[in-house]
Copies of this chain bind each other. A is one copy, B any other.
Amino acid sequence: MTGSSAGDLPPPPYRAGEKPRRSLGREAIAREALRIIDAEGIDAVSMRRVAAAFDTGPASLYAHVKNKEALLRLAFDLALEELEPVPVAADDWQAVMLRWSLGVHEMLQRHNDIAKLTFAHIPSGEAMLESTERVLGLMIGAGVPPQVAAWSLDILSLYIGADAYEGWLFGQQFGTDDPVEAEAFFGGIKDYFASLPADRFPYIVGNVAALMEGGGEERFRFGLDMFIAGIASTITR
């Protein structure tokens, strides 16, 4: 792994004023937070819990991190760094965009409910900036109007994060590891839909299967494909 605190780039706005003090502090703390997120989820991250990993109290963290919110953002940035960079020489922007989206989605799923931190995150961190730059360039180069390209990137990020978060919430409702209970949960919803009066809700009752099937990766892929196709349709030639 390269130097983790490479500093060619200006620091993101929320880090303005923080000192790049050399101490085993900030990065180690953020990494511990990410570890807890992976193992037990965001709600398990508390200042006391993180501090306990260093055999100290919560007050010790505030010398390195302004907030709990800042700590979580740091942990999120850490997770962002493990995204594969978008290949430089690629030219098929639709394939690149699809692949990049799936990569982000997978990364979010790898880190438990970290998708919750996705919202309202201005892209920051080198990896994210480079991906944005590359995909933006590919789209504009292919003839997508810049405004459309910019908005599309926003919406795409929103969609990826929201789907990953919803997916986690769904997996939370039943034990993901217990297929029996999972079936009971899904079966319950299914039965509820099916039990509706068919004269008032004919389409719901008649399409219970379609409403329930493929709620996971398949649906995500469908939305992705349709969205990318929509972007492509804005190219005027």
Contact = CB atoms under 8 A, between A and B. Distances in A.
A206 B192 CA distance: 53
B13 A129 contact: no
A227 interface: yes
Nearest to A124: B192
Interface in A199-224: 200-204, 207, 210-211, 213-215, 219, 222-223
A52 interface: no
A173 B213 contact: no
Given A159-B159, A189-B122, A230-B227, A10 B196 contact: yes
Query: Interface SS of chain A: helix, strand, loop or mixed?
Result: helix
Interface string A121-162: 010000001101100110010000011111100110011011
Interface residues of A, number: 61
Given A130-B201, A133-B202, A158-B163, 16 more contacts: A12-B192, A13-B188, A120-B169, A120-B172, A132-B204, A133-B201, A133-B204, A140-B203, A140-B207, A147-B214, A149-B207, A150-B210, A155-B159, A155-B223, A162-B162, A229-B233
Given A159-B159, A229-B230, A136 B196 contact: no
Nearest to A137: B203
A9 B233 CA distance: 43
Interface of A: 8-10, 12-13, 119-120, 122, 129-130, 132-133, 136-137, 140, 146-151, 154-155, 158-159, 161-163, 165-166, 169-170, 172-173, 188-189, 192, 195-197, 200-204, 207, 210-211, 213-215, 219, 222-223, 226-227, 229-231, 233-234
